[in-house]
Amino acid sequence: MFLIVGLGNPEQKYFKTYHNLGYLAAGDAAELLGVKFKKKECEASIAEGYIGGEKVIIARPLTYMNASGRAVKQLAAKYKISKEELVVLYDDYDIPKGSVRIRAAGSAGTHNGMRSVIAELGYSDFARIRLGIRDPEINIPILNYVLAEIREPDYDTYSSACRKAAEAALLLARGEKIDIVMGKYN
């Protein structure tokens, strides 16, 4: 079994914001796997599919970003997900826009959603796929920026990054070694 979690905010008004890139990438993963978000459980919207006979759960927490860890912890407990069977997708202000960075472990950095996930799980050594959002041309406070709608000229850049992140997450779910996935997408 494998759990892919895309972080974001659940309300429609946030859907196309920078802070919801994890949600968008999770949607791409579901599309690539040929499944839809049909179920709600553990404070998350869930899509379920199979890769090589193994169940894959793709989740979008229904909590707000800063409480994402609640849903991740509940899902991990319900499905007995080990840290090796988890990948979290999320936006990251600390890396350039359109970049995809995969890591096997690490801190939350400046991301409150990841801070919540790490605090709730009690460990930080799980895979994460970060989608870069830093744009040197935009000079507004980070809170205003992450909750702003993605600028039209940048939509293709972020769409491509989300698709790459989704592909990478599915490779991890297939059992591909993280070093190989990092080499391909970082």
Burial of 128 (0-12, 13-18, 19+ CB in 10 A): buried
Nearest to 5 by CA among 47, 55, 35: 47
Q: What is the pLDDT of residue 138?
A: 85
CATH label of the domain that carries residue 18: 3.40.50.1470
Q: Half-sphere exposure of residue 173, counting CA atoms within 13 Å on the CB side?
A: 30
Domain count, the chain: 1
Q: Which two tokens stand for residue 132?
A: 């870069």
- Active site residue ranges: 19
Average pLDDT over residues 74-85: 98
What is the extent of the structural domain holding 19?
2-185
pTM, two decimal places: 0.96
Q: Which three-class secondary structure state does DSSP give residue 155?
A: helix
Element (H, E) at 29: helix 21-33
Residue 173 falls in which region: left (phi positive, over 0), alpha (psi -120 to 50) or beta: alpha
Residue 79 pLDDT exceeds 90 = yes
pLDDT, tens only, 36-76: 999 999 999 999 999 999 999 999 999 999 999 999 999 99
d(CA 132, CA 106) in angstroms, rounded, equals 16
Closest CA to 109 of 138, 140, 84, 142: 142
The per-residue pLDDT for range 94-141, each reduced to its tens digit, is: 999 999 999 999 999 889 999 999 999 999 999 999 999 999 888 888
Share of the chain above pLDDT 90, in %: 94
| H or E element that contains 88 | strand 86-96
pLDDT, one tens digit per residue, over 144-180 is 999 999 999 999 999 999 999 999 999 999 999 999 9
